[in-house]
Amino acid sequence: MAKKLIILGVTGSIGMNAVDVVSSNPGLFDVVAVAALRSKSQCEAVASVLGARAYVGEDAALRAVEENDADICLLSTVGISGLAPALAAIEKGMDIALATKEVMVMAGELVVAAARSKGVKIIPVDSEHSAIFQCLKPVRDDIGVAPKDVEKLILTASGGPFLDEPADLSSVTVAQALNHPRWKMGQKVTVDSATMMNKGFEMIEARWLFDVEMGKIDVVVHPESIVHSLVTYVDGATLAQLSPPDMRVAIQYALTYPERVPAEREALDLARLGALTFRAPDQRRFPCLSLVRQACAMGGCAPAILAAADEWAVGRFLEGRIGYLDIARSISFALGKAPDMPCDSLEAVMAANDWTWRTLTSQFGG
């Protein structure tokens, strides 16, 4: 029987790659609804091809979940907008194929608790978390919790467009920040890749997805983007998942889990590659990594404030209102002013988000 599927954020890069996966596997999925924030004509065109209901607008993702039943919901919206639909899908018993990092960053404990209470699986779509998920498959339970004999989770990072640029990044333009050497993604996540905030988000996401402490999560820069992440066990063995950079690999695994189905993809040819390189991230070049660890050490709503501040700052950078280096400075300012408050409900997370936007707008304008 075909899996009933809802795709949220269908017009973005993850959403359109998911449509390609669905189209390449006829009979495997029954897409019942698709949703997009904007791009009404594109959303409706995709829905027509898939035989699905189309939802467009601010509340489109939530309505798509509330008005339809499905086995699995692919969540690839932007920022905090994915949290309410995620919780609604979990409440209805849908598994979550998760591509929206901010959901786990801002409310990981809340989302994981809700999923466990409903017996719902959260299956990662990011290539890095999918790699860890697959490396844990022989030894973990169906929720994805890392067993006690895991020593370390190692997330790989491409390093983005500024890995080998001069240390002075004060004159970086929007076009330069959006020129990612490996992946074609939406503007927000592409800038986050340039600052490496996306990797910081992935550290927090891994902490909740796999129930490990932050001290057991590391980042290594791997420009070729062939090794998507690694798991080291207490006996010294390290498992890695490798494939050419193609988002459809992780998307298909999430949607077909626990099965694997054939796909026409570029084959991994290690002999042709010749060498794979790795290096430690430059903390001075990528200060967002330190800000992530600071937010996690603070606890409470600090990670939610971190994510909200990044969304505020990246948005204004893309609009040309602030400079590239002001992204990290704005986030640091917000964390420095962060109130000590728990994030144990949707309302609390939204309050932290609103506080951050008010605070940064009041301080920096616009």
DSSP class of residue 267 equals P
Check residue 186 and give its pLDDT: 80
Whether residue 82 contacts residue 349, with contact meaning beta carbons closer than 8 Å, is answered with: no
- List of domains in the chain: 1-120 (3.40.50.720), 126-284 (no CATH), 287-366 (1.10.1740.10)
- Given pLDDT bands bounded at 50, 70 and 90, which one contains residue 353? very high
Q: How far is CA 255 from CA 240, 304, 328, 336, in A?
A: 21, 28, 35, 40
Q: How many CB atoms lie within 10 A of CB 22?
A: 24
Model's pTM, two decimal places?
0.91
Number of helices and strands in the chain (H, E): 15, 10
Backbone phi, then psi, for 126, in 5-degree steps? Answer: -55, 140
CA distance between the termini of the chain: 51
Beta carbons within 8 Å of 312's beta carbon, 6+ residues apart: 330, 334, 356, 357, 360, 361
The closest alpha carbon to 179, from 197, 191, 167, 196, belongs to 191
Which of 196, 191, 35 has the alpha carbon at shortest distance from 128? 196
For residue 229, give the nearest of 199, 184, 257 by alpha carbon. 199
Q: What is the pLDDT of residues 174-194, one digit of tens each?
A: 898 888 877 677 888 899 999
The mean pLDDT value of the chain amounts to: 92
Q: Report how far apart, in Å, the C-alpha atoms of 358 and of each of 79, 103, 170, 192 are.
A: 17, 21, 26, 22
Nearest in space to 145 (alpha carbons), one of 202, 205, 212: 212
CB-CB contact of 365 with 325 (8 Å)? no
Q: What is the pLDDT of residues 92-149, one digit of tens each?
A: 999 999 999 889 999 999 999 999 999 999 999 999 999 999 998 755 555 555 678 8
Q: Report the largest interatomic distance among the alpha carbons of the chain, rounded to a whole angstrom.
A: 56
Mean pLDDT of 25-49: 95
